[in-house]
Amino acid sequence: MTSEPILHLASSSPRRRTILESLGLAFSVDTVDVDESRLANETPEQMVLRLAEAKARAADVDRSHFVIGSDTVVVLDDEILCKPRDREDAIAMLLKLSGRRHRVLTGVALYGPDGLRTTLSTTDVFFREISRDEALFYWQSGEPRDKAGAYGIQGVGGALVESINGSYSGVVGLPAFETAELLRSAGIDVLRDQVDHDR
C-alpha cells in the first residue's frame, strides 16, 4: 500500500484552514508572500487563477509533496473589490454592494510532483439594501478589515447576504467541492480516505 501524499496549504487564512480540516485531511500550513496586484488587461478570472498558482509554487516544501494555493476576489461589474484601506473605503464598498448582485471568484491550484492543476469557483451573491449607518456598525465589529469586498459571509456579514447561487465555501475562501475534485484527480480521494481511516 502506498503512503498517503503529504499535503500543504499555502495560506495563513484561518478560514481556508477550517474548510480543509472539514474535509478530514491531514496537512501543514506554509505561509507565502506574493504580489497580488492585478496585471494590465487581466480579467478577474485570470487573476485569481494566476495568484492561486503563484501561491502554490511559492511554498517552501518538498516538491514530492502537494501544495494547495487559493485566491479569492469580490467582483462588482468588472471592478475588483479588495480588502478595504480604512473605514471610509469599507463603507464605500458595502454601499456599492447594497441591493445588488456581485460575484465571488476563487481560484484553486494544486501543485505536486506530477505538475499543476487548477480550478475556478464562481458564486453569485445578492446583498440586501443596507444603510450607511448599518455599514458603519458593521465596520465597528472589526470583521470587514481583512476581507475582500469588506465583508465575511461566515460571520456577522452573513446578515447582509440575501442569497447566493453557487459555492458557500468558495465565498469563504476555499470551495470544498472543487478542491476535493482537484485532490481526487491527483489520487487523493477525500471520501475513500475517510472510509479507509475509519476501518
For the question of whether the overall pTM of this predicted structure is more than 0.85, the answer is yes
Which residues span the domain enclosing 98?
7-198
pLDDT tens-digit profile of 148-190? 999 999 999 999 999 999 999 999 999 999 999 999 999 888 8
Q: Is residue 33 part of a domain?
A: yes
Q: Is residue 1 part of a domain?
A: no
Q: Which amino acid is at 44?
A: P
Q: Report the share of the chain in percent with pLDDT over 70.
A: 93
Residue 74: strand pairing partners: 81, 104
Question: 30, 60, 71, 77: which one is catalytic?
Answer: 71
pLDDT tens-digit profile of 15-55? 999 999 999 888 999 889 899 889 999 999 999 999 999 99
Mean model confidence pLDDT for the chain: 91
Rounded to whole angstroms, how far apart are CA atoms 198 and 105?
Answer: 35
Question: In 3D, which of 180, 176, 184, 67 has the Cα closest to residue 123?
Answer: 176
Q: Is residue 2 part of a domain?
A: no
> Structurally, how many domains does the chain consist of?
1
Rounded to whole angstroms, how far apart are CA atoms 109 and 124?
Answer: 21
Q: Is residue 56 part of a domain?
A: yes
Specify the CATH number for the domain of residue 179: 3.90.950.10
Query: Does the active-site annotation cover 71?
Result: yes
Q: Is residue 134 part of a domain?
A: yes
Residue 1 has pLDDT above 60, yes or no: no
